[in-house]
Structure 1
Amino acid sequence: MNLVLLEDEPILCEELAEYLGENGHDVTVAKSIAEFRQAFIPAVHRIVIIDLGLPDGDGTDLIKQLRAARQRVGIIVLTARNTTHDKVSGLIDGADHYLSKLADLDELNATVAALGRRLVADTLPCWILQAAPRQLIPPGFPPIPLSGQDYVVLLALASGGDVSRQSIVSALGERFLDYDQRRMDTQMRRLRRKVEQACGLELPVTTLRNIGYRFHDPIELRN
């Protein structure tokens, strides 16, 4: 599971990051809200673990902002504020789980695992095609830079349903009758290889014999 750990106490931060990493999680560390904003990638990070007392603000405000932005992310509060009032307020503000810093590390890991299972069950894998910068973001992985031609082809495929070769050629600004179809075959092979080499996933594009192609996973377009 890709997650961000927002904790400003150096020793605790190192201990938690090492423990979570040993339990199979890909941990990105941030020690302030400013660092978190630079590190957090919504399409990559599925869970954030947030301390509330931070050097440049209150983690509660960050939680509210994440929820207001409708980010699809699981939020675990890990804090020294452990009264019942604090816990209830944290959950109302948008945290999925609220743990004390006195909690056992195994409890934290079990909470991350349980939340991760729920997030996977609640959401379909969604690819993101972004225009600026041009990149394809696979579900759960970092962005893959795209050439202009890569982007145009994927944009045509993202229109949904069966997409004809003629539609893709037109999107590329070419005349279909003059276009060498082998160029498109080569283009698709390059795209598939680029995605597989970058993240190990198979590009979810089905070849439709004598018709064209279909992008068969959910895909979101962003400017």
Structure 2
Amino acid sequence: MIDVILLEDEPVLRGELGEFLEYIGYAPVCVSSLAEFDLHFDARRHRLAIIDIGLPDGSGLELIQRLRQGGQQLGIIVFSARNTSADRIDGLETGADHYLGKGCDLHELEATLAALVRRLGLQRREARWLLMVGPSCLQPPVAPSVQLSYQDLQVLHCLMRAAGESVSRRHIVQALGADYLDYDQRRLDTQMLRLRRRVLEASGQPLPVKTLRSLGYCFYAPATIFE
């Protein structure tokens, strides 16, 4: 997967864009301010950036100018509600590669990212995740391993065994040894949230699991399980 850093201060839109980027096969790191961007941006890892302009602690254009002056070669897409002709010209002259207005079809964002990937010669490396059942740990690609609780191990075993496919909530609950009809669905949502957070904090890699509304979950990266 190719790492993308997304800078968007509006929480709902940031979440939606992050989910969309995961869905189309990228590994997003989502931040909400210039300060968070500076904290999480890694030039060795992030080759693509999606940047909003109006931010709580400054201007996205100033960030783009700073990145370009620092010699950063990453592909930059401005994604902003400010979408007049003058805004777009200003963004492109500052150093953005593309300028998209909020409200555009997200498939246009997907196509724009794909064009940058081709132009920059970025390769989509196979990022294989390993689940070690014996030691109860998850090994992300090129990152520290993550120790797992028994329940987290069962959930990931269920998802990674069917990597690339939809796994129903019922199937996951049954894998946990619980009765689906008596199981509080909020417990599963909370467990998934904590698991995502644990993996990100321990390894720096977002867990490649997407939520399928009203259906279940899907582990969308290549996976291997060692029993």
Q: Distance in 2 between matches of 1:79 and 1:26?
A: 21
> In the superposition, relative to structure 1, how do residues 143 and 65 fare at CA in structure 2: closer, same or farther (>3 Å)?
farther
1:115-134, CA deviations, whole angstroms, 9 ceiling, x for partnerless residues? 0111116x9xxxxxxxxxxx
**Cα shift at 1:143:** 7.8
Q: SS of the counterpart of 2:25?
A: coil
Task: Give the equivalent residue in structure 1 for 2:44.
Answer: 43
Task: Give the equivalent residue in structure 1 for 2:5.
Answer: 4
What is the 5 A alignment of 1:13-162? 13-120=14-121
Q: Which structure has the bigger radius of gyration?
A: 1
> In the superposition, relative to structure 1, how do residues 143 and 40 fare at CA in structure 2: closer, same or farther (>3 Å)?
farther
**Cα shift at 1:72:** 1.6
1:55-85, CA deviations, whole angstroms, 9 ceiling, x for partnerless residues? 0000000000000000120000000000000
Q: Is the 8 A contact 1:44 1:142 kept in 2?
A: no
Q: Distance in 2 between matches of 1:77 and 1:7?
A: 10
> In the superposition, relative to structure 1, how do residues 142 and 90 fare at CA in structure 2: closer, same or farther (>3 Å)?
farther
> In the superposition, relative to structure 1, how do residues 3 and 81 fare at CA in structure 2: closer, same or farther (>3 Å)?
same
Q: Distance in 1 between matches of 2:7 and 2:52?
A: 6
What is the 5 A alignment of 1:167-186? none
Q: Distance in 2 between matches of 1:8 and 1:109?
A: 20
**Cα shift at 1:142:** 6.4
Q: Alignment length, in residue pairs? A: 127
Q: Which runs of 5+ in 2 are unaligned?
A: 124-140, 145-202, 204-227
Q: Distance in 1 between matches of 2:143 and 2:119?
A: 24
**Cα shift at 1:102:** 1.4
TM-score normalised according to structure 1 size: 0.54
Q: Distance in 1 between matches of 2:68 and 2:117?
A: 17
Task: Give the equivalent residue in structure 1 for 2:212.
Answer: none
> In the superposition, relative to structure 1, how do residues 106 and 54 fare at CA in structure 2: closer, same or farther (>3 Å)?
same
Task: Give the equivalent residue in structure 2 for 1:155.
Answer: none
- RMSD (Å) for aligned C-alpha atoms: 1.9
1:164-186, CA deviations, whole angstroms, 9 ceiling, x for partnerless residues? xxxxxxxxxxxxxxxxxxxxxxx
Q: Distance in 1 between matches of 2:110 and 2:142?
A: 23
Task: Give the equivalent residue in structure 1 for 2:163.
Answer: none
Give the % identical residues: 50
Q: Is the 8 A contact 1:75 1:97 kept in 2?
A: yes
Q: Which runs of 5+ in 1 are unaligned?
A: 124-140, 145-197, 199-223
> In the superposition, relative to structure 1, how do residues 4 and 81 fare at CA in structure 2: closer, same or farther (>3 Å)?
same
Q: SS of the counterpart of 2:121?
A: helix
Code of the aligned partner of 2:113: V
Which ranges of 4 or more aligned residues in structure 1 deviate by more than 3 Å? 141-144
